[in-house]
């Protein structure tokens, strides 16, 4: 068995997963940093903005999981 005999079908899903994890870590780190600077009198617009960002993060993670599962199934 040689190194060239190994199938590289896992490479694309692995790369997508790695990019997704890195993006999630970046978003969480930015959120924690911003939360430390937040004023105590949080208003409705800021809470809506946080909710939208959280929904975007969950949507991105769900699509990454969907495409990884599709790549494994293919």
pLDDT of residue 3: 63
**What's the CA gap between 47 and 64, in Å, rounded?**
26
Q: Give pLDDT tens digits along the chain (74 positions).
A: 676 666 777 788 888 889 989 998 998 888 887 766 655 566 888 889 989 999 998 999 899 889 888 888 87
pLDDT of residue 46: 85
Q: How is residue 44 annotated by DSSP?
A: H
pLDDT of residue 38: 58
List the chain domain ranges: 45-74
pLDDT of residue 54: 92
Please tell me whether the overall predicted TM-score, pTM, comes out greater than 0.75 for this model. Answer: no
**What's the CA gap between 35 and 51, in Å, rounded?**
13
């Amino acid at each position: 068995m040689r190194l060239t005999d190994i199938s590289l079908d896992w490479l694309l899903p692995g790369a997508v997963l790695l990019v997704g994890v890195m993006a999630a870590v970046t978003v969480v780190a930015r959120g924690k940093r911003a939360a430390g600077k937040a004023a105590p009198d949080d208003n409705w617009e800021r809470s809506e903005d946080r909710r939208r960002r959280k929904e975007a993060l969950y949507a991105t993670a769900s699509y990454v999981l969907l495409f990884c599962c599709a790549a494994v199934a293919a």
